Amino acid sequence: MVLETLSITEWVLVAFSVLIAVMVGAWLFKRLEEKPYEAGVGIRSIVGVITTLGIGLIISGLLVAPIGQAVGLRVPPEVPPPVVPEVQNVGYVQVVVIDQYKIPETAIQSARIQVTLSEPEKAKAIIDVAEDNSNTDGSALISVDGITSGTVWVVASKSGYYADVESTSIPGAQVYPTSNLWAEPELAKVGTLSLTVTDNTAVWDSTTNTITENLTTSLAHYWTLNLTVTTSYEALRDMQLAFIRGSDWENLGVSPIVVSVVDDADTSIATVGDITLSVDISAELNAIGDLDYSVTLKIKVKTNATYAFTGKEVLRIVINDIEGGVGYAGVTGISAVEIKVQTVI
C-alpha cells in the first residue's frame, strides 16, 4: 500500500495537509452557516460538513503532494530510469591454430588455447587468465576480463602435438583485434623415430636396441647413428643424444670417445658437458629444431678400448626429444630410446 511506503517526512506533510483540509473546511462551513437556507438545519449541517471537508481535502491534496498520492488524487506519472550503456572492462584475443607441416594449410580443431600475462617456460605450469578451445576452422575469439591493453602470450596445445607459443597485443576495451594482431600458433604432430646404425663392423639389433662392436681385428671402431622421421607432415623436436659411460668402461680401458656430426638435418647442434666422457661420466648432444620428415640426423661415434671381452658394456646412449625434458603445456613427446653398446671378440 502507498501509505506503508511513506517516510517520516512524508507523514509530517500528510498531517499538515489534513490540518489544512480541516482549517479550510471549517472556514467554508462557517461561511455556509452565515447564509440563509430554506432547508433544515440538520440537513444543511451534514451537507455542509461533507462539502466543506471534500473541498478542503481536494485543495490540500492538490497543494501538498504526499496527501494527494496517499488518497490517489495526485499520482505522478512513473518516469522510466535512464538507459545507461553497460561498460565492460574486457579485452579480446583472436587466435587461429594451424598444422605446422600440412600442405595446404590446415586448421586444428579442439586445440586448447591459454592466454597468459607472462611468457611461458617449458616444463612449468601455465597460469592463464583465460582459455578456450579452437573451433572447426581452428579459430577462437577469447575474452579476457580486466585486461584491455598490453602484450599477452597464447599457448596452443593438443594431445599428439608439440605445443606452440605466440605473443600478441590486446587493442583496447571491447575492441576486436584486426588481422595483424591475430595470434597464429602452429602445432607440429609428434613423429615416429626410425633408428638405424651403419658403418664399419658395428652390428645393430633393433629388437634389443644393442650395438655390438666386433673387436677381433681392431680395438678401435666407429659407427653412425641415423635418426629419421618415418611419416610425412610429422616431426621430432629438439632431439637429444645423452652419452653415458657403460658399466664396464673402466675394465675395458675405454679411451675418450669421439662424437661428430655427419648431417645436422637443418638443426642447430649444441653439446652439454664433456662429450668425450674423458672427465664427465655423461654428456649430451642436442639437435635444436625440428627433425622433419625425409631428412636424417647422422651422428658418428668412435670408440677405443684397451682390452677386448665379449658382452661387456662400453657405452649407453639415451635418445629423446624436447632435449630430454618436458615442453610447453606439459608435452612429453616420444618415449626415450636407450641403446647399449657392447663388445664381442
Concatenate the DSSP letters of all residues of 123-187 into one string.
TS----SEEEE--TTSEEEEEEET--SEEEEEEEE-TTEE-EEEEEEE-STT-PPPGGG-B--EE
Q: Is 56 helix (H, G, I), strand (E, B) or coil?
A: helix
* Common-topology check for domains 90-189 and 193-344: yes
DSSP structure class, residue 310: T
The domain 90-189 is classified under which CATH number: 3.40.50.1100, 1.10.3720.10, 3.40.50.300, 2.60.40.1120? Answer: 2.60.40.1120
| Predicted local distance difference test score (pLDDT) of residue 306 | 83
Instruction: Give the type of residue at 130.
Output: A
Q: Among residues 317, 314, 320, which one has the least CA distance to residue 335?
A: 320
The single-letter DSSP state of residue 67 is H
pTM over 0.85: no
List of the chain residues with pLDDT < 50: 1-2, 38-40, 73-74
pLDDT value of position 265:
97
Q: At what angle do helices 8-33 and 41-63 cross, to 10 degrees?
A: 140
Q: Is the peptide bond before 104 cis (omega within 30 degrees of 0)?
A: yes
What per-residue confidence (pLDDT) applies to 72? 52
- Return all residues near 59 (Cβ < 8 A) that are at least 6 apart: 20, 21, 24
User: Domain limits of the chain?
Assistant: 3-71, 90-189, 193-344
Q: Determine contact, residues 243/317, Cβ cutoff 8 Å.
A: yes
Determine how β-strand 150-157 pairs with β-strand 130-133.
unpaired
Output the pLDDT for position 46.
58
Query: How would you class 271 by CB atoms within 10 Å of its CB: exposed for 0-12, middle for 13-18, buried for 19 or more?
Result: middle
pLDDT value at position 39? 46
pLDDT in tens, 106-123: 999 999 999 999 999 999
**Can you give the pLDDT at residue 97?**
98
Query: Can you give the pLDDT at residue 303?
Result: 87
Condensed to tens digits (0 to 9), the pLDDT of residues 52-71 reads 556 655 555 555 555 555 55
How many alpha carbons lie under 13 Å from residue 279 in its C-beta half-sphere?
4
Residue located via cell numbers 629388437: 207
Helix, strand, or coil (residue 43): helix
Architecture of domain 193-344: Sandwich (2.60)
Report, in angstroms and rounded to the nearest whole number, the Rg of the chain calculated over CA atoms.
Answer: 45
Long-range contacts of 45-51 (CB under 8 A, 24+ apart): 49/25
